[in-house]
Copies of this chain bind each other. A is one copy, B any other.
Amino acid sequence: MKKTQENIKIIPLGGLGEVGRNMTLLEYKEAILIIDMGLRFPEEDMPGIDFIIPNISYLKNKEKNILGIIIVHGHYDHLGAIPYLIEKVGNPPIFSSALSRGIILKRQEEFPRAPKLDITVVKDGDKIGLGPFKIEFIRQNHNIPGNLGLFIKTPVGNIFHTSDFKFDKEPINDLPTDFKKLKEIGEQGVLLLMSDSTGAEEEGHSLSEKTIEQNLDKIFKQAKGRIIAATFASLLNRVQQIISLSEKYGRRVCVEGYSMKTNVEIARNLKYLKIKKGTLIEAKEAVNYPDPKITILCTGAQGEGQAVLMRIANQEHKFFHFKKGDEIIFSSSVIPGNERTVQYLKDELYRQGAIVYHYKMMDIHAGGHAQIEELKEMIRTIRPRFFLPIHGQISMLVKHGEIAKGLNILEKNVIIAENGQIINLSREKIFLEKKTVPSNYVMVDGLGIGDVGEVVLRDRQMLSKDGMFVIVAVVDKQTGQVRGSPDIISRGFIYLRESKPLLAETRRKVIDIVNKTTGSGRAVNWVYVKDEIRNKLGQFLFSRTQRRPIILPVVIEV
> A172-180, A184-192, A451-459: which one contacts chain B?
A451-459
Cβ of A348: which chain B residues have Cβ within 8 Å of it?
394
Q: How far is the CB of A87 from chain B (nearest CB, A)?
A: 18
**Cβ B351 vs Cβ A394 within 8 A:** yes
**Cβ B556 vs Cβ A474 within 8 A:** yes
**Cβ B456 vs Cβ A463 within 8 A:** no
Cβ of A393: which chain B residues have Cβ within 8 Å of it?
343, 346-347
Please tell me how many copies of the chain the complex holds.
2
Q: Mark A538-558, 1 if CB is under 8 A from B, else 0.
A: 000000111100101010101
**Cβ A455 vs Cβ B495 within 8 A:** yes
A554/B489 contact (C-beta < 8 A), A459-B467, A468-B463, A545-B448 known: yes
Q: How far is the CB of A13 from chain B (nearest CB, A)?
A: 18
**In the complex, which residue of chain B has the Cβ closest to the Cβ of A467?**
B460
Residue A464 contacts which of B47, B474, B545 (CB distance < 8 angstroms)? B47
Q: Is the interface of A mostly helix, strand, loop or mixed?
A: mixed
Residue A340 contacts which of B43, B48, B340, B470 (CB distance < 8 angstroms)? B43
Cβ of A460: which chain B residues have Cβ within 8 Å of it?
463-465, 467, 491-492
Q: How far, in whole Å, are A44 and B45 apart by their CA atoms in the complex?
A: 10
**Cβ B336 vs Cβ A446 within 8 A:** no
Q: How far, in whole Å, are A460 and B464 apart by their CA atoms in the complex?
A: 4
**In the complex, which residue of chain B has the Cβ closest to the Cβ of A541?**
B446
Q: Does A243 contact B (CB under 8 A)?
A: no
Q: Does A17 contact B (CB under 8 A)?
A: yes
**Cβ A552 vs Cβ B395 within 8 A:** no
A545/B447 contact (C-beta < 8 A), A394-B347, A395-B356, A465-B48 known: yes
A452/B489 contact (C-beta < 8 A), A393-B347, A395-B346 known: no
Cβ of A468: which chain B residues have Cβ within 8 Å of it?
463, 468, 491
**Cβ A201 vs Cβ B360 within 8 A:** yes
A residues 45-91 in Cβ contact with B at 8 Å = 47-48
Q: Does A219 contact B (CB under 8 A)?
A: no
Q: Mark A488-500, 1 if CB is under 8 A from B, else 0.
A: 0101111100110
**Cβ B459 vs Cβ A492 within 8 A:** yes
**Cβ B463 vs Cβ A491 within 8 A:** yes
Q: Does A487 contact B (CB under 8 A)?
A: yes
Q: How far, in whole Å, are A492 and B462 apart by their CA atoms in the complex?
A: 9
Residue A456 contacts which of B455, B492, B546 (CB distance < 8 angstroms)? B492
Q: How far, in whole Å, are A492 and B445 apart by their CA atoms in the complex?
A: 12
**In the complex, which residue of chain B has the Cβ closest to the Cβ of A547?**
B446
Q: Does A273 contact B (CB under 8 A)?
A: no
Q: Does A337 contact B (CB under 8 A)?
A: yes
Q: Does A6 contact B (CB under 8 A)?
A: no
**Cβ A340 vs Cβ B44 within 8 A:** yes
Residue A494 contacts which of B44, B340, B456, B487 (CB distance < 8 angstroms)? B456
**In the complex, which residue of chain B has the Cβ closest to the Cβ of A356?**
B395
Q: How far, in whole Å, are A398 and B48 apart by their CA atoms in the complex?
A: 36
Q: How far, in whole Å, are A337 and B343 apart by their CA atoms in the complex?
A: 12
Q: Does A466 contact B (CB under 8 A)?
A: yes
Q: Does A526 contact B (CB under 8 A)?
A: no
A residues 504-558 in Cβ contact with B at 8 Å = 544-547, 550, 552, 554, 556, 558
Q: How far is the CB of A322 from chain B (nearest CB, A)?
A: 14
Q: Mark A335-347, 1 if CB is under 8 A from B, else 0.
A: 0110110010011
**Cβ B463 vs Cβ A492 within 8 A:** yes
Interface residue ranges, A against B (CB under 8 Å): 17, 43-44, 47-48, 201, 336-337, 339-340, 343, 346-348, 350-351, 356, 360-361, 393-395, 398, 418, 445-448, 451-453, 455-456, 459-468, 470, 472, 474, 487, 489, 491-495, 498-499, 544-547, 550, 552, 554, 556, 558
Q: What are 24 A-B residue pairs whose CB atoms fall within 8 Å in the complex?
A: A17-B347, A44-B337, A47-B465, A201-B361, A336-B343, A337-B337, A337-B339, A339-B339, A346-B393, A347-B395, A351-B394, A445-B545, A446-B546, A447-B544, A447-B546, A451-B499, A456-B467, A456-B492, A460-B463, A463-B463, A463-B464, A489-B552, A554-B554, A558-B558
Other contacts beyond A48-B465, A343-B395, A487-B556: 8, CB < 8 A: A447-B545, A456-B495, A463-B463, A470-B470, A470-B554, A489-B552, A491-B552, A558-B558
Q: Which 6 residue pairs of A and B lie closest in terms of their CB atoms, listed nearest first?
A: A446-B546, A464-B464, A336-B339, A347-B394, A47-B464, A463-B463
